[in-house]
Structure 1
Amino acid sequence: MHVVAAPVTDHAPLFELSTIVEIFGASRGESMGIPWYDLRVCAAEDGPVRLGEWATLDTPHGLEALDEADTVLVPPPHDSRRTFPPALLEALRRAHARGARIASICTGAFVLAAAGLLDGRPAITHWDSLDELARRHPSVAVQPAVLYVDDGDVLTSAGSAAGLDLCLHLVRLDHGSRVAGTAARWSVVPPHRDGGQAQYVPTPVPEPSGTPFGAWLDWARERLDEPIEVREWADAVGTSPRTFARRFRDATGETPVQWLAAERVRRAQELLEGTDLPVEAVAARCGFATAAGLRKHFCRRLGATPQQYRRTFRAGHEERLAG
């Protein structure tokens, strides 16, 4: 079982830690027939370790948990904290040296930087702390406009909510986009994180089947390999195109055409990860007229070509399975 260790420092905020627990602490693998994660929340310094101003952490795990972890995920420290326990920094260096994957949420990047793990690397933190990170650690290549940075064995995320994006990204690396999408749906995250920050953030979370609007989406999902006109879609669900478009945007924040493109890209991600189909065949199964059309939408939403995506995610997933 993949061990995730989360070292908590005194007065660490609760929200980001709860994000880690939400994704990695729940027993969700059973429903999908796969092993999930063994999450170990650990005290990063002598106790009692307080969580914000409201609680005290009671855990049997100390920094020794980092010596057994496959992934170490560092939540942010208290806002005013400038120094960190030397034992924590050494445990992070030791974990990284033996091959553990190291990641941080929000200002947890300052902990990684203090350990020297971000030297010469791209990294992100909360927008309000970007200048401070660059000033205190000039060897870090601070990235101001992304949700998270995946630099292979070291990853960092932006502000609090971006920590959820990073956690889901880690799940995708380990288990593929379908499992990550299911985890996102359980957590009821916003349907899409759009714009130049999209990277490999899971694409729109499916509306639950069995709801009236969910049936609208299911109708389209069953026909993604076919041309779908908005008028035809509206007729199928029994409403006028104008009402359909208005209710659709109210529910998803997107137009039907935008949603279809995103859903087709999501289907392409699954096929690129799980099959050896040529890109042209993937495009056809996802409703794109040509491979060029698939590449256009894929690059716009994910910042990579289909072939680049396949190499990145299939290679990473296969390496972890082999390990």
Structure 2
Amino acid sequence: MRRLIGGLVLAGLAAAGAGWLLTAPDRLPEGSFAGVEGDAERGARVFTAAGCASCHHAPEAEGEARLVLAGGQRFASDFGTFLAPNISPDPGQGIGGWSQEEFANAVMRGVAPGGAHLYPAFPYTAYARMDDRDLVDLWAYMQTLPASDTPSQPHELGFPFNIRRGLGLWKLLYFDDGWVMDDAEGQELVRGRYLVEALAHCAECHTPRDALGGLDTGRWLTGAPNPNGRGTIPGLTPDHLSWEASDIAYYLETGFTPEFDSVGGHMVEVVENFASLAPEDRAAVAAYLKALPDGGAME
């Protein structure tokens, strides 16, 4: 009996050790951005395309106050409610004490400076495709923003979703920094893919998810239930969105649809972001959406 119990204990310890290794954070190689100087002016455009302020400004902030990334907005989901953290340059409550490398690991790998996994409510699975130069420029720009000493609020999650280490298994299942549209040809389509799949992270809202919250890439951008439980988010594939490319580009600039309706909800801020980008960027997004297959299956 003692041998049996001893064997079970050893097997349990071995399983726990294997699980601990499997769920360990995966960081970028050390020195990935060494010697690269960021350009804050270029970083401002990356910041806008990535929609950083849209999620991280304080609730109800307007105008220039939206550049104070104090956090606090609430995002409901099937797993609980996530609260956007303070990512202003404040060294105590924000990310002002982080290094560029720590920032890169958070944005592109979902790993906090202390090694904890970040929840994928933060779209690092999309930002993982970000160009290294854009990452460095974004970091440079964020250092120029106003600081806020507003403390970040904890997420409101129940068991087992409040166990961050389990996100290591989630990443093994769903973290993939490859392109969904892997055969993009031509400069415009490549740029559109970069904006849609990486910076603007459109799939985070417009692609359905499975029971564990992973994106169903076989139904890429075909629409999804609204995480807050109210209504649905429309599909963007040609079988769901019949607009001409010029209509899509115009909508991203003005918020007006071909049916003379206007943008609403969270898309208001998305359109405001895209309206600040170059016309070529809006045209590239439109080209990408028109190139999608019906049903969203890329293979």
Q: TM-score, normalised by structure 2?
A: 0.28
Higher strand share: 1
More RCO (CA 8 Å, sep 6+):
2
TM-score (norm: length of structure 1): 0.27
**Structure with the higher helix share, 1 or 2:** 1
